[in-house]
Amino acid sequence: MSNVPADLKYTRSHEWVKSLADGTVEIGITDHAQHALGDLVFVEVPDAGRAVKAGEACAVVESVKAASDVYAPITGEITAGNPQLAGEPEAVNADAYSAWLMRLRPAPGALAAAALMSSADYEKFLAAEG
Amino acid sequence: MPAREKVIFEYSHPGRGASDQWPAEPPAAALADLPAKLRRARPPELPEVGELEAVRHFTRLSQLNFSIDTHFYPLGSCTMKYNPKACNQYAMLPELLARHPLAPESHGQGFLACMYELQEMLKEVTGMQGVALSPMAGAHGEFAGVAMIRAYHRARGDLKRTEIIVPEAAHGTNPASATMCGCVVREIPVNAQGDVGLEALKAAVGPNTAGIMLTNPSTLGVFERRIEEVARIVHEAGGLLYYDGANLNAILGKVRPGDMGFDVIHMNLHKTFSTPHGGGGPGAGAVGVGTRLMPFMPLPIVGKEGERFRWLTQVDLPQSIGRLSAFMGNAGVLLRAYIYMRLLGRDGMRRVGEYATLNANYLLTRLKAAGFDAAYPERRASHEFIVTLKRQAREHNVTAMDFAKRLLDYGFHAPTTYFPLLVPECLLIEPTETESKDILDAFVAAMSQIQKEAEQEPERVRGAPHTMPVRRLDDVRAARQLDLTWKPAAQP
């Protein structure tokens, strides 16, 4: 059973979103996603300052099985990509919820408009996906 | 099984060598032309072994090969179907081997005739109006095809058309080729039966649509049943249809992409037309086009005037997208494909398609009867099909990769694993037309045996292979700590 922390929000493409005190959000891939991908061998994160739209591919996670895009859950501006992951992609496998990929400042109103799920809904979504 | 063969450097002793391979001293004049800063201060660290040691090393390596000449290879035409030896034999005739690519046309009429006839046969078998042979492999052919689509729209002054639609069941190279041509890729979903979703397609097409790239049968191993409808929607929106010929083996001699409504196609001659292509090359990605794209074909093309053959040039096709390779492309590969087609003839090519699909459907039916889950159980297989081991992974913690590795112990090469990405824990199985019923039955027996092991002694499957020269490789560590350079051991 995947680990789905109750204090985060989730997307259908298996990203998690955490609201930070300064109004930005931290984004990563879920425990389910890292498990499905298997051992990661490469992670590419976006540069700070890049403007992204919700649903736009903005990071890449690659395992020996597959390469997958990570999508911006919310429209806004990237404030940081996690510099640790280029040299240490396995950090995502070790703890998907502390190894954030990027931080983003949502555009005005974008956070409310984003299609995010609660942890309970994401668990239901995972169960339905089988 | 033989033990792991050492790296050739490990056999090296200073001063040892094969006298006939010692390079001649370069003439002083040649050295004088090289600036001092570009000259080596000391000789490169090459292995120093005797001739017999080198022969034995490489012969032993070749004996470790798991090859189509020794084992069943359910990767199919996707990687390597059987290449009849006759194709190789005729292509190795000294008159063909010794032909210089810059020889005048009058000295190469025989070779040019072969290439001309190959173009004509490919037109006939695909239902296209023109064929160019020079792209060097599948993705190169895709690049040529999308470049022609763009050139077509540009020539009409329709500069907005830069979007290429790609269904999610397409080959990964399709979006890559479209991007290489400066197009924007729009992905559309396939439905639960594996067909392109027509509503999503209708929503995606418009005044910016350059075209759609489709593989039919798709990578899901099923035939796109509403292909005429797809063609109508895309054409009415002003786009063109690109056929990725990677799966042409399934329909050879039975259905023609030109008749389905496609405007351009690439053919992997190294797949369908049976030329050797292990280890990434050489390939041949000939392209075929309908009337609208004929002016834009890549050069060179062989033309015929009366009884004489000649290269067509920019003078003949002023709107050509240009040259994509030196000379004629991979001439040796093209020759082998030509000989293969001549040996088969029209009826033989139809039998390739029929037996490729018959073998796949026989194998699918028997595997289903043995308790395996087809990814698309309601659909008939094309020349390949997908089995999903999701249930085995859940119940026994034995994955598709474990099954694949264990098959090696039973004398079968693994099928394609974890592709397409849409299907979890999948094996993509393609037997091809040349396998006998005996072999297919033996493969089913091995799969059933592995299933039994997964239930009773899963560790045995998870630890496979047990009989190969190397055990399971740590591909994660290999990718994370990439190291391809041999370094001498520290001197004691």
Which CATH number goes with the domain that contains B326?
Answer: 3.40.640.10
CB B396 within 8 A of CB B458: yes
Categorize the per-residue pLDDT at B22 as very low, low, confident or very high, splitting at 50, 70 and 90.
confident
Q: What angle do CA B40, B42, B47 make, to 5 degrees?
A: 110
CB B185 within 8 A of CB B164: yes
Do B258 and B114 share a structural domain? yes
Residue B300 has pLDDT above 80, yes or no: yes
User: For the residues B278-288, what does the mean pLDDT come to?
Assistant: 83
More confident residue, B283 or A16: A16
Per DSSP, B196 falls in state: B
The candidate with the shortest Cα–Cα distance to B332, out of B298, B283, B286, B268, is B283
Does one domain contain both B151 and B298? yes
pLDDT at residue B344 above 90?
A: yes
State both tokens at B469.
């020269």
Separation CA A99–CA B342 (nearest Å): 59
| B416 and B379 co-located in one domain | yes
* CA separation for the pair B330, A111 (Å, rounded): 55
Query: Cα–Cα distance between B410 and B427 in angstroms, integer?
Result: 17
Does any CB of chain B come closer than 8 Å to the CB of residue A65? yes
Name the residue of chain B whose CA is nearest to A66's CA.
Answer: B421
- What does the block give as tokens for B5? 């063969």
User: In this complex, is the C-beta atom of B483 within 8 Å of any C-beta atom belonging to chain A?
Assistant: no
Q: Is the pLDDT at A130 greater than 80, yes or no? A: no
Q: Locate the chain A residue with the closest alpha carbon to B473.
A: A64
Q: What is the pLDDT of residue B2?
A: 54
Between B158 and B281, the higher pLDDT residue: B158
Judge whether residue A68 has pLDDT over 80: yes
Question: What local confidence, expressed as pLDDT, does residue B482 receive?
Answer: 82
Interface test with B, best of A60, A65, A92 (most B CBs within 10 A): A65
Residue B3 is assigned to a structural domain of this protein: no
B326 & B396 share domain: no
Cβ pair A45, A82 in contact under 8 A: yes
* B418/A36 touch (CB, cutoff 8 Å), yes or no: no
Q: pLDDT tens digits for B359-414?
A: 999 999 999 999 999 999 999 999 999 999 999 999 999 999 999 999 999 999 99
Of A64, A89, A90, the CB nearest to B475: A64
pLDDT at res. B281: 67
What average pLDDT does the structure give for chain B?
A: 92
Does a structural domain hold residue B470? Answer: yes
pLDDT at position A85 is 95
- Return d(Cα A94, Cα B446) in angstroms, integer: 36
Residue B98, domain member (yes or no): yes
Q: Residue B431's pLDDT is what? A: 95
Would you say residue A66 has pLDDT above 70? yes
Q: What total number of domains does chain B contain?
A: 3
In chain A, the domains with their CATH numbers are 9-129 (2.40.50.100)
Residue B40: predicted pLDDT: 86
**Whole-model pTM?**
0.86
**Any B CB within 8 A of A89 CB:** yes
Contact across the interface for A65 and B479, Cβ inside 8 Å: no
Residues B372, B317 share a domain: no
Residues B369, B327 share a domain: no
DSSP state for residue B310 in the 8-state scheme: E
Identify which of B379, B77, B80, B373 has the alpha carbon closest to the alpha carbon of residue B220: B379
Kindly state whether residue B124 falls inside one of the protein's structural domains: yes
Examine the pLDDT at B317 and tell me if it is beyond 60.
Answer: yes
CB A60 within 8 A of CB A43: yes
Chain B residues whose beta carbon lies within 8 Å of the beta carbon of residue A41: 476, 479-480
Residue where one domain finishes, among candidates B344, B366, B382: B344
What does the pLDDT look like over B83-114, one tens digit per residue?
899 998 999 999 899 999 899 999 999 999 99
CA neighbor of B368 nearest in space, from B424, B438, B451:
B451
* H/E run at residue B397: none
Instruction: Answer yes or no: is B491 within a domain.
Output: no
Residue of chain A with shortest Cα separation from B422:
A66
- B34 part of a folded domain: yes
Above pLDDT 70, what percent of chain B?
98
Diameter of chain B measured on Cα atoms: 76
Same domain, B182 and B245: yes
Is B466 inside a domain boundary? Answer: yes
E-strand stretches of B216-254: 240-244
What's residue B280's pLDDT? 63
Nearest CA in chain B to A88: B480
Q: How far apart are CA B401 and CA A63, in angstroms?
A: 14
Domain that holds residue B427: 351-478
CATH of the domain at B465: 3.90.1150.10
Residue B479 and residue A90: Cβ atoms within 8 Å? Answer: no
Check CB contact under 8 Å for B480 and A66. Answer: no
Closest CA relative to residue A117, chosen from A24, A1, A32: A32
B476 touches chain A (CB under 8 A): yes
B111's enclosing H/E stretch is helix B109-126
Q: Is B395 found in the same domain as B336? A: no
Domain edge (last residue) among B344, B371, B402: B344
Question: B223-279: per-residue pLDDT in tens?
Answer: 999 999 999 999 999 999 999 998 999 999 999 999 999 999 999 998 899 887 766
Q: Which residue has the higher pLDDT, B352 or A36?
A: B352
- Residue where a domain stops, chosen among B322, B344, B366: B344
Q: Kindly give the pairing relationship between strand B209-215 and strand B240-244.
A: parallel
- Give the residue from A1, A35, A40, A64 with the most B CB atoms within 10 Å of its CB, the best one to mutate: A64
Position B252 in a domain? yes
Q: Which two tokens stand for residue B375?
A: 């990814």
The separation between the first and the last C-alpha atoms of chain B, rounded to the nearest angstrom, is 33
Per-residue pLDDT, B489 = 66
Residues B339 and B368 in one domain: no
Query: How would residue B39 be classed by pLDDT, with cut points 50, 70 and 90?
Result: confident
The residue with greater pLDDT, B27 or B58, is: B58
B79 pLDDT more than 80:
no
A102: helix, coil or strand?
strand
A88 at the B interface (CB within 8 A)?
Answer: no
